Structure 1
Amino acid sequence: MTKKTIFIFFFLCVSLFYNTKRSSRLDWDVFGYYLYLPAKFIYDDIRLEKKDQWLTPLIDKYKTTDNLYQAYKGPKDIYVMKYTMGLAYVYAPFFFVANVSAPILGYEQDGFSAPYQWMLLIGSMLFSLIGIHYLFRILSLYFSDQVVLACVALIIFGSNYFVMTAYDGLMPHNFVFAFFAIMLYQSIKWYEDQKTKRVFIIGLCLGIAALIRPTSIVVAVIPALWSVGDFDSLKKRIALFIKNIPQLLILGGVAILVLLPQFIYWKSVTGEWLFYSYPDEKINLLTPHLVNVFFSYKKGWLLYTPLMIFALIGFVHLYKKYRQLFYPIFIFIIINAYVISCWDCWWYGGSFAQRPFVESYVFMAFPLAAFVEKMLRQKLLIAAPVFLMLAFVLYLNLFQTKQALNGVIHT
């Protein structure tokens, strides 16, 4: 059994331990992401016109939410789902298995009984493992096994990736992380062989990630600029794209097809093909909350995930040794952090630390790995204190995660 297999098995056990502590997984925001499925395939009521007959009793029975903030009356006086349907896509295979098995196992076929809860838990854990697997594969293309194992362990147990997978795995970030990792791996391979099947996968991942969290569309800069380290390589990249326009059209077409059901749904319930479905929350690109997002006691990213300080330092080594990786990652991180900071609710409630950064750890793993690689080449007198600090931030993350789950730290 390889070290990677042992590591993944250990994470699976930890994740199962944390998830079995939850009485319900289909609640609050997750309830909103999931609602499309029972509404459409069990109750045939995607407009929630008969919600008092089925939805209200289910909310009372399973305590999924205090109030139905996940949907509201739109411009046509018809209920509109607040969240886009990307996660419903991902939940769907596990939902259908549960829907078939529930009556066989003696449970209610209502969308929320135990088989539905457990199948979606299995789905979230599966996507966690897929994300970790691809992160290993990607990093192994550039770094030694020792560096990769250390980096992945730090990302998982030393950051809020841990709580967003082992405890809140049905939230968007776990799944988007996996789609980002798959997309990056396929992008790297496409630049080697230009196989059409890879653009299908890239387009699918990009489309679903954007449908789960629309701001995820900024990740497109990663596959577009990957391995572009200077002006000459940029010119070659543009020439490569021009040569492969048909494949790029396929990529865009796949992404649009993924988004199409959402447009049709909006047209049906609002009369508009494109609809902003967050009535009380806005993103304002002119008023970023960068200082709060990075440093505030309430939810500062670097305050509650200090591991990322080492990753940011690692950008220096990444620039010196892996410049072709530095530019796409650095550009994405800057744009992504800015967009995250422009949300009115900049603290992104219901989580430990800054959860919208979690999916970007696929890319932050590179400067972190560069930092670890640099430290492994230093003298023991320099490296030992640094690795002790890394061990401490890993412990601190697990300790503060426990505090957050117990209500000691603001979530």
Structure 2
Amino acid sequence: MRRFPDACLAFIALVYLLFVINVKFGKDRWKDIIAYDGKGYYAYLPALWIYHDLQFNFYPAIEAKYYTAAGYFDYREKVGDVRLNKFSVGTAVMMAPFFLAGDLFAHASGAAIDGWSFPYQAAISIAGIFYALLGLGLLRRTFTVSGVPDLPSGLILLSLAFGTHLFYYALNEPSMSHVYSFAAIAAWIYIGQQYARSPDRSRMLQLAFLLGLLIVIRPVNGMVLFSLPFIAGRNGWHNILSSLISRPWRLVSYGSIVLGWMLFQVLLNYAQSGSLILYTYGEQRLDLLHPHLFDFLLSYRKGLFIYTPWCLLAVLVSFVLFRDDPWRAISGIGFLVLVIWVLSSWSLWWYGGSFSSRPMVDYLPFFALLLGVAWSALRKNRIVRIGLPAVLFLVVFVNQVQTYQYRYNIIHWDSMDREHYFRVFLRVDQLGQKTNPNADLLENR
């Protein structure tokens, strides 16, 4: 079984690549690889490399050339007298090597050097696959360090890759920030575990680098700092605190790395607008006193546990840790409560047109680690050995059906309710039909 997790990763890579080649690269379907919010995350790269224009004046021509009215999205926000990119730069940083490869291929192939022709969009599609696999690979290493047996490790990786909304956002909307946060958070967990075992300076510098990067991908990602007690475990957390208390001056150098990333974003804001500190989300706000917890988790509109039941399964199984490893249970579940509380406190708690609760893609590595540690504690239980893989298979089936339905607008991107959800729930007999059972949502909303 030692090679089973690696074989699972190879299988995931093959299926992901075949999916993208078959579904996204055919005909003109590649034109929506960079889409919606992803246009803004990506736009820094052509703005700096091709157009030398941080006012994004090239936007209208690109929109007219590559997108239909249905795909229209203006990522520029008016702040005062200027329009600027409302999104943070971290996603573009992670896309940059793939963008440069796409630019090189565009020059060599004679494609348009405009940042949106096929070589550029294909490069971002490959980036989505790469970072999904990087995150999964780092989780595989994390499972090994955590003592998760190879069979559960491989099955968790397979179910995470095919049974959650990671599948959709890595392959269908790879220009969104989520798969990049997913990979960076998986790296944060892996290096955090290493640091907890041996708190040396190099690993702490790596954690500081990752924390800064995560913040400029999505500022709310700074919450990962509160995950260290869970990642480290009781003894590891003691090691971390002892190291920091004995050398408190090192926090200055670590903090300077994080601040360096934040300064990078501030300088970009200044180059766009002449102002250092900007708020680019208009009337949208974070209201921590009024979270939409039920809607965020269980609504038919976007509920995480409705559309990604893999997360519910991970949480339920992890409750066994209250008996076997209460530190991990309290710190792990407590951290996820914090994440859900904060993300559900956003005024636009459904996060626009999206599948499931899309910001939770970023935090799937924490669910996976909880599931892996809990499964290890239950590995001698015969019912778990047989039943849990069967439930994971069922969860993958549900996710694949719902992902297909979302791709073809059977599950509406914004307006689902109980009636429309159960009208199509697991109705595989409808998947080949030309008529949409929920067509009324497309007509009326």
What secondary structure sits across from 2:234 in the alignment?
Answer: coil
1:9-408 equivalence runs, <5 A: 9-20=10-21, 21-22=23-24, 23=29, 24=31, 25-48=33-56, 51=57, 54-63=58-67, 66-75=71-80, 77-142=81-146, 143-223=148-228, 226-229=231-234, 237-380=240-383, 384-408=386-410
Deviation at 1:15, TM superposition (A): 1.6
Deviates more, 1:268-277 or 1:64-73: 64-73
TM-superposed CA distance for 1:211, in Å, is: 0.9
Assess if the C-alpha contact under 8 Å between 2:227 and 2:332 holds in 1.
yes
- Say whether the 8 Å CA contact 1:103–1:109 is kept in structure 2: yes
Deviation, 1:225, is 5.7
User: Does the 8 Å CA contact 1:26/1:64 hold for their aligned counterparts?
Assistant: no
Q: CA deviation at 1:99?
A: 2.0
* Aligned AA (1:170): S
| TM-superposed deviation, 1:133 | 0.5
Q: Tell me, in whole angstroms, the C-alpha distance in 1 between the residues paired with 2:307 and 2:182.
A: 20
CA contact (8 A) 1:313 1:367 kept: no
Deviation per residue, 1:197-223 (Å, 9 max, x gap) = 212221121111111111111111123
In structure 2, relative to structure 1, the CA distance for the partners of 1:281 and 1:192 (3 Å cut) is same
Distance 1:123 1:383, change over 3 A: closer
Aligned partners of 1:222, 1:206: CA distance in 2, in Å? 12
Residue 137 (structure 1) shift: 0.4
Distance 2:191 2:388 in 1: 34
8 Å contact from structure 1 (residues 14, 166) kept in 2: no
Report the 3-state secondary structure (helix = DSSP H, G, I; strand = E; otherwise coil) of the residue aligned with 1:42. Answer: helix
State the SS of the aligned residue for 2:232. coil
Distance 1:129 1:386, change over 3 A: closer
Contact 1:199-1:248 at 8 Å conserved across structures: no
TM-score by length of structure 2 reads 0.84
Once residues 134 and 82 of structure 2 are traced to their aligned partners in structure 1, the CA distance between those partners, rounded to angstroms, is 38
Deviations 1:357-378 (CA, angstroms, capped at 9, x unpaired): 1121111112322443455422
Which deviates further from its counterpart, 353-362 or 163-172? 163-172
What is the alpha-carbon distance in structure 1 between the residues aligned to residue 62 and residue 178 of structure 2?
A: 26
- Contact 1:38/1:111 (8 A) holds in 2: yes
In the alignment, the residues of structure 2 paired with residue 237 and residue 8 of structure 1 have an alpha-carbon distance, to the nearest angstrom, of: 32
Q: Contact between 1:206 and 1:255, CA under 8 Å: does it hold in 2?
A: yes
**Counterpart AA for 2:234:** G
Query: What is the one-letter code of the residue matched to 2:367?
Result: M
Work out the CA distance in 2 between the residues paired with 1:321 and 1:73.
53
Same amino acid, percent of matched pairs: 26
Aligned-CA RMSD value:
2.3
Give the partner amino acid of 1:133.
G
Contact map agreement 2:77 2:281 (CA 8 A) in 1: no
The 10-residue stretch of structure 1 (292-301 or 149-158) with the greater mean CA deviation from structure 2: 149-158
Deviation at 1:234, TM superposition (A): 6.2
Name structure 1 gaps, 5 residues minimum.
none
Q: 1:15 to 1:291 in 2, by over 3 A?
A: same
Deviates most, 190-199 or 39-48 = 190-199
Any stretches of 5+ residues in structure 2 without a counterpart?
414-445
Contact 1:227 1:324 in 2 (8 A): no
The CA deviation at 1:396 is 0.9
